Amino acid sequence: MNARHLGIGMTSQRTRSRLIGRLLQGGVTNKRLLDVMETTPRHIFVDEALASRAYEDTALPIGHGQTISQPYIVARMTEVLLENGPLDHVLEIGTGSGYQTAILSQLVPRVYTVERIEPLLSQARKRFQELRFSNIRTKYTDGIWGWKEHGPYKGIIVTAAPAEIPQPLLEQLAIGGRMVIPVGRENQALAVIERTAKGYESRELEQVKFVPLVEGTA
C-alpha cells in the first residue's frame, strides 16, 4: 500500500479501528472479516470530497443516484455469506464503488461481479488494479440474468433490492449454496436463501434500505 492508501487524519488507521469497534458492537464476530475491514481503505472507494467521512458507519453517495453500502451492512452480509464455511467463488450483483467486492476478494479465492452502470464499473476496475486485487472478474451487464458461465455459485450476494428474487439467480445458486439479498420495494428485508437437494429455504434477517435493482443496462 502507498501513502494514499494508508491515509492520514480522518482516513488514518486509528479512525478505521473506531469503525471496527462499531461493527463489534453491532454483533459482527468473524475475526478474519473484521481484520479485512480494518485494513481495507474505504476512502479509496468514494469521491475525494467524501474521504473524511469514509469510516463513518453510513452509506455515502457514489454518483449516478447510487450509494456505497453502509459498512455494518457489508459486514453483516459477508458474515452470513461465509457462515457455512469457505467458498471457492462468489457472484456479486451490483459492483457500485467496488468496496463490497474488495472485501470479498480478500476472503474468497475468486469473485465475479456485475454492474449495469458503465462509469461506475470502470471506476471500480481502476480501484481493483490500483489496490492489486487480482482475483476479481467484472462484467458490464444486467445482473438480473446473473453470470451463468461461471456458475453454479455456492455464494451469491446482491447489493440492490428487487421486488422479487430474479429466477436466473435462484437457478445459478449451487445445491448447498446460499444467497444474501435485500428484497422488497418500500419495506425491504435482508433475506438468506439456501438451496438444498429438495428446493429453496428462505429466512429474513433484518430490515434494510438498498437502492432498487433496476432492469437493463444504463
- Name which of 169, 171, 156, 34 is nearest 87 in CA terms: 156
**213 touching ligand SAH, by CB under 6 A:** yes
**96 touching ligand SAH, by CB under 6 A:** yes
Q: Which of 174, 189, 205, 211 binds ligand SAH (CB under 6 A)?
A: 211
Interface size with ligand SAH, residues (CB under 6 A): 24
Active-site residue, selected from the candidate residues 69, 97, 105, 134: 69
Question: Distance between CA atoms of 196 and 201, rounded to whole angstroms?
Answer: 8
**78 touching ligand SAH, by CB under 6 A:** no
Asked if residues 74 and 68 have their Cβ atoms less than 8 Å apart, the reply is: no
Q: Is the dihedral of CA 209, 119, 150, 215 positive or negative?
A: positive
What is the chain's alpha carbon radius of gyration, rounded to the nearest angstrom?
A: 16
- Name which of 186, 188, 189, 184 is nearest 204 in CA terms: 189
Q: Quick check: bond before 86 cis, omega within 30?
A: no
**11 touching ligand SAH, by CB under 6 A:** no
Nearer to ligand SAH, 87 or 210 (CB): 210
Asked if residues 166 and 144 have their Cβ atoms less than 8 Å apart, the reply is: yes
**93 touching ligand SAH, by CB under 6 A:** yes
Q: Which of 159, 173, 183, 188 binds ligand SAH (CB under 6 A)?
A: 159
- In this structure, which amino acid lies at residue 115? E
Q: Which listed range, 16-24, 36-44, 61-69, 148-156, lies at the site for ligand SAH (CB under 6 A)?
A: 61-69
- The least CB distance from residue 104 to ligand SAH, in Å, is 10
69 assigned to active site: yes
- Name which of 64, 90, 66 is nearest 77 in CA terms: 90
- Name which of 136, 135, 169 is nearest 152 in CA terms: 169
**160 touching ligand SAH, by CB under 6 A:** yes
Nearest residue to ligand SAH, by Cβ distance, number only: 96
Residues in contact with ligand SAH, shown as a per-residue x/- string from 106 to 135 under the rule CB under 6 A: --------xxxx--x---------------
Q: Any idea what the Cα angle at residue 93 is, between residues 91 and 98, rounded to 5°? A: 90
DSSP label at 160? S
Q: Which listed range, 22-30, 83-91, 136-144, 181-189, lies at the site for ligand SAH (CB under 6 A)?
A: 136-144
Q: Which residues bind ligand SAH (CB under 6 A)?
A: 66-69, 93-94, 96-97, 99-100, 114-117, 120, 142-144, 159-160, 211, 213-215
